[in-house]
Amino acid sequence: MIDIKRIRKEPDVIKEALALRNDNPELIDQILALDAKRREWVSQTDMLKAERNALSQQVAKQKAENRAADVSEWVEKSKIIGEQIKSNDEQVTLLESQQQAIVSLLPNIPSEKTPRGADESQNVEIRRWGEPRVFNFEPLPHWDLGPNLNMMDFERASKLSGSRFVVLKNKIAALNRALISFMLDVHTVEHGYTEMNVPHLVKRESMFATGQLPKFEEEAYRTDPDDYFLIPTAEIFLAGMHRDEILSEKDLPLKYVAYSSCYRREAGSYGKDVRGMIRVHQFEKVELVKYCTPETSFDELERLTADAERILQLLELPYRVVSLCTGDLGFGAALTYDLEVWLPSYQKYREISSCSNDTDFQARRANVRYRNAENKMAYVHTLNGSGLAVGRTLVAVLENYQNPDGSITVPKRLVPYMRGTEIIP
């Protein structure tokens, strides 16, 4: 959520930010008009309330001095003011909700570090790690490798659940599980994150707090009679966990890691990645979330990104880091680094993690504050990143570690998690 005070003070900055994100800057004028009107009503109504309070005081005082005192004049006057207040309050509430409706559609302001650009093509590569493997045979895509081993079943998945689902079997299922344990171990033991296991169903307001709602409702799965949402990422829980809380500065940064399934409708991605398990409705992800002070959040983002990169390095998967440009930035993010892993089937780097600094955007929505050194309240900054998307990591392992005979070499670090299996099958 963007601070309304900031919108009032520097509307042009916000408008420019919206334009950079290909969003509509006219929203700001609408908000300002509503805000001015609302403030006018509020101050009118405050004056009336002050007047009524004074009258009530007088009544109380009179009654205290003399129980039989005639206070009907005050009472009559107060009654009339009361009616006025009531209708004013209704007006204020209406204006408030109208204003709120628009403000909650505004995305976060990109940071100065975010490259300017209209779309994906103008994202900026920051660094590369590792060399894409040169195959001396024709490498297969994972949607052939898996089924050939009889360990990945797209047909059964779609028979039971429809398109964009996958069933893993046998050693590939085990490899998937190994990845999860491995990632959690690295982040907890080596990087100091606290492991969390979270509900996959959350209430509507939890989706609002992290910015999924109201704008992206069509992206989410919703349960009907109870209005629960299936989480599209564990971030919903981790970043919303401290809603309406006041944290102490000495506890910051808070670092959480959670493994969860993620559920996404993938509305509007009809032609994209229809083969394989790159884009499915249900996938698994290990998610990192931090809460920190505003002063440290950009440094913390560098560290969080490095933490996610560490997984790729330990698995010896070649990747690059890309800074998303303003036009490609997610709703709540001020700065985002995507990690892209090399996939032989695409002959391209493909997103496997997205690490963002949401600054105070989510903290305002979720009302997560802390007391700073001067004992003043301030909003925390929140960060999140995948560490990593498990399904896509599995794909990357299968494709990059494939052998000419269709078998898969298990990455060294995963062997202990596979009870010693070095080659699949």
Partner RNA sequence: GGAGAGAUGGCCGAGCGGUCUAAGGCGCACGCCUGGAGAGCGUGUUACGCUAACCCCGUACGUGGGUUCAAAUCCCACUCUCUCCGCCA
Looking up tokens 């249900």, which residue turns up? 282
Asked if 27 contacts 117 with a C-beta cutoff of 8 angstroms, the reply is no
Closer residue to RNA in complex, CB, 65/218? 65
Kindly state the smallest distance separating residue 1's Cβ from RNA, in Å.
12
Between CA 47 and CA 11 the distance in angstroms is 29
Contacts of 312 (CB under 8 A, 6+ apart): 129, 130, 319, 339, 341, 352, 388
Does the protein bind RNA through residue 33 (CB under 7 A)?
Answer: no
What is the dihedral angle through the alpha carbons of 353, 359, 362, 363, rounded to the nearest 10 degrees?
A: 140
From the candidates 104, 111, 351, 371, give the one annotated as an active-site residue.
351
Asked if 169 contacts 151 with a C-beta cutoff of 8 angstroms, the reply is yes
Contacts of 183 (CB under 8 A, 6+ apart): 259, 286, 311, 387, 388, 390, 393
Does the protein bind RNA through residue 82 (CB under 7 A)?
Answer: yes
Kindly state the smallest distance separating residue 77's Cβ from RNA, in Å.
8
Does the protein bind RNA through residue 79 (CB under 7 A)?
Answer: yes
Closer residue to RNA in complex, CB, 187/242? 242
What is the bridge-based pairing of β-strands 228-230 and 201-203? antiparallel
Whether residue 351 lies in the annotated active site: yes
The distance from CA 129 to its chain's CA centroid, rounded to whole angstroms, is 26
Residue selected from 28, 31, 78, 414 as contacting RNA according to rule CB under 7 A? 78
Using the contact rule CB under 7 A, the part of the chain among 74-82, 169-177, 293-301, 320-328 near RNA is: 74-82
The CA distances from residue 295 to 193, 358, 360, 380, 384, in Å, are 20, 13, 11, 10, 17
Residue selected from 97, 136, 347, 375 as contacting RNA according to rule CB under 7 A? 375
Give the CA angle between residues 55, 59, 61 to the nearest 5°: 115
Q: Of 348, 389, 401, which Cα lies nearest the Cα of 145?
A: 401
Three-state SS for 28?
A: helix
From the candidates 279, 303, 310, 371, give the one annotated as an active-site residue.
279
Using the contact rule CB under 7 A, the part of the chain among 12-20, 59-67, 131-139, 232-240 near RNA is: 59-67
Contacts of 131 (CB under 8 A, 6+ apart): 318
Residue selected from 75, 118, 126, 267 as contacting RNA according to rule CB under 7 A? 75
Whether residue 279 lies in the annotated active site: yes
Three-state SS for 105?
A: coil
Name residue 259's amino acid.
Y
Name residue 325's amino acid.
C
- Residue 287 tokens read as 């998610």
Whether residue 310 lies in the annotated active site: no
Does the protein bind RNA through residue 364 (CB under 7 A)?
Answer: no
- Say how many C-beta atoms besides its own lie within 10 A of residue 58's C-beta: 15
Asked if 356 contacts 336 with a C-beta cutoff of 8 angstroms, the reply is yes
**Residues in region 386-405 near RNA by CB under 7 A:** none
Three-state SS for 190?
A: helix
Kindly state the smallest distance separating residue 17's Cβ from RNA, in Å.
21
Whether residue 354 lies in the annotated active site: yes
Kindly state the smallest distance separating residue 23's Cβ from RNA, in Å.
24
Does the protein bind RNA through residue 66 (CB under 7 A)?
Answer: no
Using the contact rule CB under 7 A, the part of the chain among 52-60, 168-176, 264-272, 285-293 near RNA is: 52-60
Using the contact rule CB under 7 A, the part of the chain among 70-78, 152-160, 355-363, 385-393 near RNA is: 70-78
Kindly state the smallest distance separating residue 321's Cβ from RNA, in Å.
37
Between CA 277 and CA 264 the distance in angstroms is 13
Whether residue 392 lies in the annotated active site: yes
Closer residue to RNA in complex, CB, 67/419? 67
**Residues in region 84-113 near RNA by CB under 7 A:** 86, 93
Closer residue to RNA in complex, CB, 49/133? 49
Residue selected from 13, 118, 246, 267 as contacting RNA according to rule CB under 7 A? 246
Residue selected from 22, 24, 53, 148 as contacting RNA according to rule CB under 7 A? 53
Does the protein bind RNA through residue 294 (CB under 7 A)?
Answer: no
Residues that bind RNA (CB under 7 A): 4-5, 39, 42-43, 45-47, 49-50, 52-56, 59-60, 63, 74-75, 78-79, 82, 86, 93, 246, 375, 377
Q: What positions carry a catalytic annotation?
A: 264, 279, 351, 354, 392
